[in-house]
Amino acid sequence: MDAADLSPIPETQRTQPAFDLFLIFLAANVVATTLQTGAVLASRYGGRDAMVLVVVGALFGALLVAVLAPVGSRFGVPSMVAARDPLGLRGAQAVSGLLYLTNFAWIAVNNTIAASVCSQLLGGPGSAWVWSAAIGVAATLIVARGPRAVGLADRIAVPLMAMAGFMLTWAAFTLPARVELAVAVAPPSILWGIDVVIGYQVSWLLMFADYSRYTRSPGASATAVFAGLAIPALWLMPLGWSLARIAGSDDPGAMLAATGMGWWAALLVVLATVTTNFVNIYMSSLAWRTLAPQSTGTGSVWVIGLVGTALGLISTAWLTSFADLMVLLGSVLVPVGGIFLAHFVILRSKVDVAAIYQTAAMPAFNLAGVAAWVLGFAVYKLAAPIGATLPALATSMAVFLLVRRLARA
C-alpha cells in the first residue's frame, strides 16, 4: 500500500478494526507534549482549577475530532480531499499548507524532548543530537512502509508505553514536591486555560478522516477516535501538572528526572515520540500530495520526516512558546472545525467522491467556507482575553450556514 495514498478506499477494503484506529490515536496522544500541556497549567493554576481545565478541554476537544471521523468511514477519502467540498480546492489546499508547515514543528518538538531525556541517561548532553536523529529516522522508516506497518508497530509500542506510563504515574503521585512551583500571582482567566487544552486536542482535527477511512463502521470510528484522544489527555495532562510541581520546573527533562525512573521514563518518551510522529509524518505527506499531486507517497514521507528531524537538530528552543503555539493553532483550527461540523454533521452533506477528484472543474474557493474561516479566526482573536473557543466555533458554524443559504437562495 502506498505510504500516503490519496485515492478513495473502496468499502470492501475498509477492513481496519476499530481497535487499531483507537490504538493509532491513543499512541499519537501518548506523547511528552501532552505532559507538557499539563506542565504549562502547573505554573498558572492550582490543582482544582487545573483538573477542571483538563477534563472540560480534553473531552470537548476530543469530541470535535470524533464527530467528524465517520466522514472517513462513509466515503473512504482523506481529510484534505473531503475538505474540498466546504472550502473549495484552493481553500482546502490552504489548510493543507498550514498542516504541512506546522507538523515540521511538532516533529522537531517531539524529537527534542525525547533526545533530552535519553541523553541524560546515556551519552550526556552532547549526545542529544544523535538520539534526536535516530528517533526521527526510525519513525520515518516505519511510516514509509504504510498504514499497516504503523498499526503493527502501535500494537507493540502501546502495551510497553502503558507499562512505563503506569510506573511513572505511581512515582509522580507518591513523591512529594521537592521544590514547590509557584503559581502565578495573577493567573490568567480559566477560559484561557481551556483554550490551551482544547487547542492541543484540536491539533489532531485535520486528520479526522485520514485513518478512519480504513474502518467501515462510522459509529465505531467515532468511538475509537474519541477514546483514543480523551484517555491519554485525561491521564497525562494531570500527570504533567504533578511532575512539574515535583520538579519545580516545567522543563520535560527535569520533570522526568525528578521521578528517578531512569530508563522507564526514557522508554515511555521514546516510544511516545515515535508513535506520535507516525501520525505527524503521515498527515503531512497526505497534505503535501494534495498540493503536489505528482509527488510520490514514499518520497513525501522521507522528505517530511527528515526535514522535521533536521529542524530538531538545528535548535532546542521549540518549547519556549509552547502555550502560545497551542492558542495559535486553536485560533486557526477551531473555525475550520466549525465549518466541518456545519457541513458534515449539521447539514449531513454527502461527499461526491467522483466530483472532488475532478479538480479542474472545482471552484477555487467556497464563499461560505472562506467567510466562516476568516470571521471565526477574527472572533477567536477578539475573544481571547475572555475565552475564545466557543465564540469562534459558534461564529464559524453560523456564518457558514448563513452564507451557504444566502448563496443558494
Integer-rounded Cα Rg, in Å, for the chain is 20
Q: Could you tell me what percent of the chain has a pLDDT over 70?
A: 91
CA distance 113 to 266: 10
Residue 140 pLDDT greater than 50, yes or no: yes
**Mean pLDDT of the region 39-50:** 83
The whole-chain average pLDDT of the chain stands at 83
- Range with the largest mean pLDDT of 4-8, 129-133, 284-288: 129-133
pLDDT value of residue 184: 47
Q: Which amino acid is at 194?
A: I
Q: Which residues contact 126 (CB under 8 A, 6 or more apart)?
A: 119
Residue 135 pLDDT greater than 90, yes or no: no
φ and ψ of 42, to 5 deg: -65, -30
pLDDT value of residue 378: 94
Say which residue the cell 470524533 belongs to: 66
211 Ramachandran zone, left/alpha/beta (phi>0; psi -120 to 50): alpha
Q: How confident is the model at residue 83 (pLDDT cuts 50, 70, 90)?
A: very high
pLDDT value of residue 106: 79
Residue 390 pLDDT greater than 90, yes or no: no
Match domain 11-320 to its CATH number in 1.10.4160.10, 3.30.420.40, 3.20.20.80, 3.30.870.10: 1.10.4160.10
Q: How confident is the model at residue 188 (pLDDT cuts 50, 70, 90)?
A: low
- Range with the largest mean pLDDT of 167-176, 297-306, 335-344: 335-344
pLDDT value of residue 6: 78
Residue with more model confidence, 171 or 49 = 49
Q: Does the reported pTM lie above 0.95? A: no
Of residues 18, 43, 394, the one with CA closest to residue 216: 18
- Domain ranges across the chain: 11-320
Residue 1 pLDDT greater than 50, yes or no: no
How far is the CA of 27 from the CAs of 22, 42, 195, 219, 275, in angstroms?
Answer: 8, 24, 23, 21, 6
pLDDT value of residue 26: 87
pLDDT value of residue 343: 95
Residue with more model confidence, 27 or 367 = 367
Say which residue the cell 541524560 belongs to: 120
Tens-digit pLDDT profile for residues 372-384: 999 999 998 898 7
Residue 212: how many CB atoms within 10 A of its CB?
A: 34
Residue 59 pLDDT greater than 90, yes or no: yes
Q: Could you tell me what percent of the chain has a pLDDT over 90?
A: 27
Q: How confident is the model at residue 258 (pLDDT cuts 50, 70, 90)?
A: confident
pLDDT value of residue 177: 58
Do residues 41 and 53 touch, judged by C-beta distance below 8 A? yes
pLDDT value of residue 310: 86
Residue 253 pLDDT greater than 80, yes or no: no
pLDDT value of residue 322: 60
**Mean pLDDT of the region 9-27:** 89
pLDDT value of residue 273: 81
Tens-digit pLDDT profile for residues 101-120: 887 877 888 888 788 778 87
**Mean pLDDT of the region 42-48:** 81
Residue with more model confidence, 268 or 63 = 63
Residue 186 pLDDT greater than 70, yes or no: no
Q: Which residues contact 358 (CB under 8 A, 6 or more apart)?
A: none
**Mean pLDDT of the region 48-72:** 93
Tens-digit pLDDT profile for residues 275-334: 888 878 877 877 887 888 777 667 778 888 888 888 878 766 655 556 566 677 778 888
